[in-house]
Amino acid sequence: MPNWLRKSFVVLVTILTFGLVTPSQAFLYENTSQLKASRASDVENSENSSELADEEDSNFDKEDFIRQMLIEAEAQSHEKFGAKIGPVIENEFNEVILPNIEKAIQAVAVQFPEDSLAQLKVTENPGGGLSEKIFHITNSKTNEDVIRFHVRRDHPPQQGYWFNFHYHTHHDSFQGHHELGSIYWNKNTPPKWMS
């Protein structure tokens, strides 16, 4: 007989007899044994769940890495832009520059085995003022930069101000300049970063 049907029958008998008849001790003992077995099973399942969660953490794949890095890259970029620059260039940044940042992060992901991707972290503080630094991706185990994302203010003669987004990699000791794109500001000097 299913367990729910037994319990229903006990409840029905209890209601009909208004407590004059109590369930047998054997029934109560059987329920306590089942409850203990159920609790033991729950504990075992929660241990298995935590093992699965640990296993999932170790199975940190390239797509997860790229997605996480892109979220952090976008957050660091908007923090660097600040309240004065951000609203002006935000749409063009999201449409033009961010997809190119994603491609650069994908290129980084290809260079590392999946088990070491979890060691790569985005630096937390973009550079303010006139600094070029947006964020770097660093190997937390070696504490060395892997790729550096920067934005430079360009002012070609009689063309106004431009924000030149680019990155440098550890392959050439951060000497090479890899273009991500440029966004026009206007003829007036832009405010400092993070202002």
* Nearest of 89, 92, 111 to residue 193 by alpha carbon: 89
Q: Reduce the DSSP state of residue 180 to 3 states and report it.
A: strand
User: Across 30-34, 112-116, 140-144, 149-153, which has the greatest mean pLDDT?
Assistant: 149-153
* Nearest of 117, 103, 113 to residue 70 by alpha carbon: 103
Task: Report the pLDDT value the prediction gives residue 113, as an integer from 0 to 100.
Answer: 87
Q: What is the mean pLDDT of residues 12-38?
A: 54
Task: Report the pLDDT value the prediction gives residue 55, as an integer from 0 to 100.
Answer: 45
Task: Report the pLDDT value the prediction gives residue 121, as an integer from 0 to 100.
Answer: 93
Task: Report the pLDDT value the prediction gives residue 104, as an integer from 0 to 100.
Answer: 94
pTM for this predicted structure = 0.69
Q: What is the mean pLDDT of residues 60-74?
A: 88
Residue linked to tokens 């620059």: 85
Least confident of 45-59, 63-77, 148-162, 168-182: 45-59
- Name the residue with higher pLDDT: 137 or 38: 137
